[in-house]
Structure 1
Amino acid sequence: MDVQAGAPLRYQSPAGRWVLLATVLGSSLAFIDATVVNIALPAIGHDLGADAAGLQWTVNGYALSLASLILLGGSLSDRFGRKRVFLAGIAWFATASLLCGLAPTVELLVTARVLQGIGGALLTPGALAILEASFAPEDRAKAIGAWSGLGGIGGALGPFLGGWLVEVGDWRYIFLINVPVAALVLWVAARHVPESRNPSAARAFDATGLVTGAAGLGGLTYGFTAWPAGGPGDPVVLISLAVGVAGMVAFVVAERRSAHPMLPLEIFRSAAFSGANLVTFLVYAANGGVFFLVVVNLQVVAGFTPMASGVALLPVTVLMLLLSARAGALGQRIGPRIPMTAGPIVCAAALAWLSMVGADASYGTDVLPPVILFGLGLALLVAPLTATALGSLDDSYAGLASGVNNAVARAASLLAVAILPLAAGLGAGGLTDPGTLQPVYRTAMLLCAGLMTGGGVLAWFLIPNRLTAHTPAESFCDPCSPPMVRRG
């Protein structure tokens, strides 16, 4: 059933809470599987005999398809209905998760992870677009902040549950548990989420943009992942990087010439939108490196159990839960520039501190303090950043704005996982060798601190104090019926 659309939802209303619950649970599936698999990497490597490249592609296979197709997911949600595409993504994600849990080899696991990323690309932009289109303008920052914070519940439970399942059960359960959660999301969303779309969106399919964008990201990622083993002169590395660069150039040319582009380049004329996405790229590249390497370092170098390493970053998600809605309201009250500048600088200090975690690390004195500081910085940053990225464009482009911002974030994380170990000096070594990993981890954390610092500096110069008000979105019960303009 479709919920009848009318007046915009209020943050404290029962209907608003149901919509928030559905979007939080749905997007949490995609967020958790982007990080919780890191806890299981040593177990996967031992069980399936995977080398460092295989383990990286267990992470990158998911991130690659997610980043490559998330623009398409946002565009489809604007065109054919945000609720409809969101539900399709949830169902797809659940099916792919089942395949991940049953994979007998690392090659089939990577394939299933690619399929899982496609589902994530459909559901992730839809979740934020539903919030942007459903809530009253004065409540959107609170709703997005609450979405960021409540997503921390899934983020908090995910590593804890994932570590526990790996330690006492089997790494496969971290994928199989997605199936009943997805069933719950489908039930809640079908009953309580209103449908909305952009009636003026073109119906044509931008196949050229899709292929060139995916080729660009895929080529760059594969080339950087293969570099440590093959070296910079390896033909596979050179060809992959050349395909990646050519694909990205072709994508920009195709979108500029297309009558119905998947990514209309004119949206980047908004200085706030462009600035928010540049900041997103830097800070999420840092996040990708942190959440990939910290849990591995704690297990391999510091000797933590999978469960202990899984809950080590729990304070980050708890702080996000407690503070993100307040940070969203703060950004709406004083403007996004100050929190988007201060947040990354605080994170940078935390990562410089976290880089010192080594073989004799104690959680209480060496890990917990910088993790708390990192969580405070992220809580200050994320909600204003997301609200700025979505609020910089007209509401009719909610799906596209969400898709672009998510694509930038996922591409940044994807490239960070591929490039950071290489830039930090991994060479041909493995991620499961303590002597090799420790110096690589230290250098990578300092590089991530530099990325965070750059994000804070860019935010100060590129993000305005106030965003311009835009036209309300058009929403309606049935995508085939005439639109009903919402009056706020």
Structure 2
Amino acid sequence: MTELTRNKQSRPEEERSSRNAALLVATLVSFLTPFMGSAVNIALPVMGTYFSMNAVLLSWVATAYLLAAAMFLVPFGKIADIHGRKKIFTYGIMIYTFSSFLCGIAPSAVSLILFRVIQGIGSAMIFGTAIAILTSVFAPHERGRVLGINVSAVYIGLSVGPFIGGILTEQLGWRSVFLINVPLGAIIIATVAWKLKGEWAGARGEKLDYLGSLIYGISLLFLTYGLSRLPGFLGATLIGAGVVGIIIFVLYELKVENPVVNMNLFRQNTVFAFSNLAALINYSATFALGFLLSLYLQHIKGYGPQAAGLILVAQPVMMALFSPFAGRLSDRVEPRVVATTGMAITTLGLVILSFIDEETSLFLIVTVLMILGFGFALFSSPNTNAIMGSVVKKYYGVASAMVGTMRLVGQVFSMGVAMLIFALIMGTVQISPEIHVPLVRSIAICFIIFSILCFMGVFASLARGRLRHPPAEVKERSPRQ
């Protein structure tokens, strides 16, 4: 057998090994970050008591992480396209793991929130590259299946997070929720170094748009912090400044030679634009669910963190079970149909929760959580498949970053709505039995708003159009155009 023949035979084996390694690493990291996030949600009431935080400040433990991730995700997606997706992914895991350790030893509420910001930056480097790496190594006809497995890992993390987080919080204290991520992160770092071969950089040689990245990040910061300061004048001013900043960002990106986000992806690609909009609305309407029900179950129903975590597992278990099925289905059926059905089912679940009160039965809550989990499973992986399948290879990093950005911005907005309603109804006071009635009223109002948002998302999902044709090249815009 000649060396040329051996090389020809070894290449498919190397490619298959690289694909399997990419799926393994992306699946592990897709488990780790939501596992930590859902475990932290369960531990929040205990953290609030430990540091004597009011409800609004407590919500910043979750929001600071999300905001930092959202601010840096798109720039890191572009950096990954330029310098290599594996490289940025690896650095992100390292930062995420180290910051988890810092969160676990935080001496104060302020330091905890600061370390959560660093953790969010590490997450941005992960989210901006993981899906792009998968899309780079798997053929289009396999992506729905692979993305379904990836999304399933997310939901397995969400499933075990509340339960394990509740056990850790009750038995070892809230700090253990962060510290357990350190050995998990170390395992992923070792797997990347040992198994993941090759590098992917679809825009090598281009320059990063630093000014556009700065405008984008500051605008998001103003918008989110402004939501937390409403209904005061400062809050309205910051939100206005954030909106103006986003408009300036869009106009600037249309003119710059190497934009951090090619706006023609939205202008010329209906599937890409409306799939991202549907994702933004869906996450805006659903993310605060875990935070709100964690407070409800522990403060109103009197359950401990472990029991509350076990109850909340009902939703992500359904997601984990049905996401692979939904991903495979979207390889054969229009993703628009599958995702829109999921959005409609999610809307139904939120409408039921909008009637929540102090007498709501546990059976009803668990049933609704299962409905929401099934609806979200039908939506998520087909929607991601639609986004990644609507662009060419050059934009995989940016498209992956936009998937993560829509998720994170939606999550930030969802928490922002909860913070705003809490500030309006309860004020900035620590949660105690005296304010249980306004707490329940605040939670119900949040679910009413989320129901309306999700209903609007059904139409955004329908408007995306058909995906079953090859993705078109997006025209570049030079500075002179």
Asked if these proteins are the same fold (TM beyond 0.5), I'd say yes
Correspondence for 1:128 among 127, 131, 135: 131
- In 2, the alpha carbon distance for the partners of 1:132 and 1:149 equals 16
AA partner of residue 142 (structure 2): D
Matched, 1:71 2:74: yes
2:196 aligns to what?
193
Structure 1 position 431, deviation (Å)? 6.9
Residues 1:216 and 1:33: Cα distance change in structure 2 (over 3 Å): farther
Matched, 1:464 2:466: yes
Assess if the C-alpha contact under 8 Å between 1:79 and 1:203 holds in 2: yes
Correspondence for 1:220 among 218, 223, 237: 223
Matched, 1:376 2:374: yes
- In 2, the alpha carbon distance for the partners of 1:196 and 1:150 equals 23
Alignment: residue pair count: 460
Percent sequence identity over aligned pairs: 28
- In 2, the alpha carbon distance for the partners of 1:6 and 1:250 equals 48
1:250 aligns to what?
248
Deviations 1:140-162 (A, max 9, x none): 11000111012222221211111
Residues 1:349 and 1:203: Cα distance change in structure 2 (over 3 Å): same
Assess if the C-alpha contact under 8 Å between 1:283 and 1:455 holds in 2: yes
Deviations 1:388-419 (A, max 9, x none): 11111002211110101211210111022112
- In 1, the alpha carbon distance for the partners of 2:296 and 2:11 equals 51
Deviations 1:117-152 (A, max 9, x none): 000000112111111001122111100011101222
Structure 1 position 314, deviation (Å)? 1.3
Residues 1:356 and 1:7: Cα distance change in structure 2 (over 3 Å): farther
- In 2, the alpha carbon distance for the partners of 1:443 and 1:406 equals 27
Tell me the SS of whatever aligns to 2:107: coil
- RMSD, matched Cα: 2.2
Assess if the C-alpha contact under 8 Å between 1:388 and 1:467 holds in 2: no
- In 2, the alpha carbon distance for the partners of 1:330 and 1:91 equals 35
Per mean C-alpha deviation after superposition, the further-off stretch among 432-441 and 119-128 is 432-441
Correspondence for 1:453 among 452, 455, 458: 455
- In 2, the alpha carbon distance for the partners of 1:104 and 1:37 equals 17
- In 2, the alpha carbon distance for the partners of 1:434 and 1:30 equals 31
Residues 1:470 and 1:147: Cα distance change in structure 2 (over 3 Å): farther
AA partner of residue 400 (structure 2): S
1:477 aligns to what?
none
- In 2, the alpha carbon distance for the partners of 1:9 and 1:279 equals 37
1:390 aligns to what?
388
Assess if the C-alpha contact under 8 Å between 1:38 and 1:296 holds in 2: no
Residues 1:421 and 1:323: Cα distance change in structure 2 (over 3 Å): same
1:302 aligns to what?
301
AA partner of residue 196 (structure 2): V
Matched, 1:232 2:246: no
Correspondence for 2:140 among 137, 140, 147: 137
2:342 aligns to what?
343
Deviations 1:225-251 (A, max 9, x none): 122xxx333xx3244223322322222
Assess if the C-alpha contact under 8 Å between 1:101 and 1:173 holds in 2: yes
Assess if the C-alpha contact under 8 Å between 1:25 and 1:154 holds in 2: no
Assess if the C-alpha contact under 8 Å between 1:197 and 1:396 holds in 2: no
Structure 1 position 15, deviation (Å)? 5.2
Assess if the C-alpha contact under 8 Å between 1:213 and 1:247 holds in 2: yes
AA partner of residue 240 (structure 1): L
Alignment of 1:43-442 (within 5 A): 43-227=46-230, 231-233=231-233, 236-268=234-266, 269-363=268-362, 365-423=363-421, 425-426=424-425, 428=427, 430=429, 432=431, 433-442=435-444
- In 1, the alpha carbon distance for the partners of 2:425 and 2:11 equals 56
Residues 1:245 and 1:469: Cα distance change in structure 2 (over 3 Å): closer
1:485 aligns to what?
none
Per mean C-alpha deviation after superposition, the further-off stretch among 30-39 and 134-143 is 30-39
TM-score, normalising length: structure 2: 0.90
Alignment of 1:4-43 (within 5 A): 16-43=19-46
AA partner of residue 327 (structure 1): A
Assess if the C-alpha contact under 8 Å between 2:25 and 2:191 holds in 1: yes
Structure 1 position 448, deviation (Å)? 1.3
- In 2, the alpha carbon distance for the partners of 1:97 and 1:51 equals 23
Moved segments of 4+, more than 6 Å: none
Residues 1:96 and 1:131: Cα distance change in structure 2 (over 3 Å): same
Residues 1:39 and 1:45: Cα distance change in structure 2 (over 3 Å): same
Structure 1 position 104, deviation (Å)? 0.9
TM-score, normalising length: structure 1: 0.89
- In 1, the alpha carbon distance for the partners of 2:274 and 2:469 equals 12
Structure 1: give runs of 5+ residues left out of the alignment.
Answer: 472-488
